[in-house]
Structure 1
Amino acid sequence: MTEVLFYHLQDVSLENVLPPLLEKSLERGWRVVVQSTSEERTEALDAHLWTYREDSFLPHATWRATDVEDHPVILVVEDGNPNRANVRFLVDNAPLPANTEIYDRVVLLFNGEDADALAAARQAWTDCKARGFDVTYWQADERGRWQKRD
């Protein structure tokens, strides 16, 4: 069954949260697709993933790569699964894919300070529950550690 995790970003940026989550995914041997809603945002995330920390390397590419299927992390703007990922990250209000059930896990990261993002996350939660997915809600505590909330 597909797991859908909702990460409520509050007082923290996507740029700070996404790289460690991608690193954990790779440590688990997962292949990942990260979907944004614009080419500009995807290009900015691509640049950030190369430089977010001096002492690490996060192998990734964008959908434009000629060998896209070989990369463990692919950044995309549209639906599709070019690297046969089993995990899909949705950022910047990217919609749930029509074929959500093909993924082991979908991670929806949303800005808790943006009314449109909150509304989109609530609608996605309702849709996921109706489709029978296992949904969980995560929020950072005062120390910045992610806690599962009821």
Structure 2
Amino acid sequence: MGSVYFYHLTENPLEATLPMLLQKSLAAGWRVAVRSGDVDLIRRLDASLWLGEGFLPHGIAGGPHDADQPVLLTKDEAKNAPHCLMAVGQASIDVEEAKASERVCILFDGADPQAVDHARGLWRVMTDAGLAAQYWADEGGRWQKKAENA
């Protein structure tokens, strides 16, 4: 059964935080799917990952090599058999997906009240289903664990 990690973005934008989490996931040997229902956000993340400080191999879903991508940016189901599913831009995650994943990461913008409400709702759904969850906040340039439900 997977764990769900909530990342409350308060100091750094998604484009700065996501590469760090992807690097850690790839270093652990995981395949990752980054899900967003916002196609424009997927395009921005794609550009950001190509232009970042380090090379992060990835692709946008819909190509002929989706199954081979270590990181797949997708609007729907991931075709790369991910160990870790990262939800951005208020993407939906269901309990069964979370249970099937080694890790789910939910990244949300602390300056967006709708994103915060969405994350709170997901916290309730995931913890009510018995999944282990951690809530992390970016404070003073460091990630600090604020809550844990094992």
* Same fold, TM-score > 0.5, yes or no: yes
1:145 and 2:138 matched: no
**What TM-score results when the alignment is normalised by the length of structure 1?**
0.93
Q: Tell me, which stretches of 5 or more residues in structure 1 are unaligned? A: none
What is the alpha-carbon distance in structure 1 between the residues aligned to residue 10 and residue 32 of structure 2?
24
Deviation, structure 1 residue 106: 0.2
The 5 Å alignment of 1:95-106 reads 95-97=92-94, 98-106=96-104
Question: Runs ≥4 in structure 1, deviation > 4 angstroms?
Answer: none
Q: What amino acid is aligned across from residue 15 of structure 1 in structure 2?
A: E
Name 1:92's counterpart in structure 2.
Answer: 89
Name 1:14's counterpart in structure 2.
Answer: 14
Name 1:28's counterpart in structure 2.
Answer: 28
1:37 and 2:37 matched: yes
Name 2:79's counterpart in structure 1.
Answer: 82
Q: What amino acid is aligned across from residue 24 of structure 1 in structure 2?
A: K
What is the alpha-carbon distance in structure 1 between the residues aligned to residue 22 and residue 11 of structure 2?
20
Give per-residue Cα distances to partners, 1:40-81, cap 9 Å, x unaligned: 11111111100011xx21000010221110111000012x12
Q: Percent identity?
A: 38
Deviation, structure 1 residue 94: 0.6
Deviation, structure 1 residue 24: 0.5
Contact 2:33 2:86 in 1 (8 A): yes
What is the alpha-carbon distance in structure 2 between the residues aligned to residue 10 and residue 140 of structure 1?
6
What is the alpha-carbon distance in structure 1 between the residues aligned to residue 72 and residue 131 of structure 2?
24
Count residues in correspondence.
146
Q: Tell me, which stretches of 5 or more residues in structure 2 are unaligned? A: none
Q: What amino acid is aligned across from residue 50 of structure 1 in structure 2?
A: W
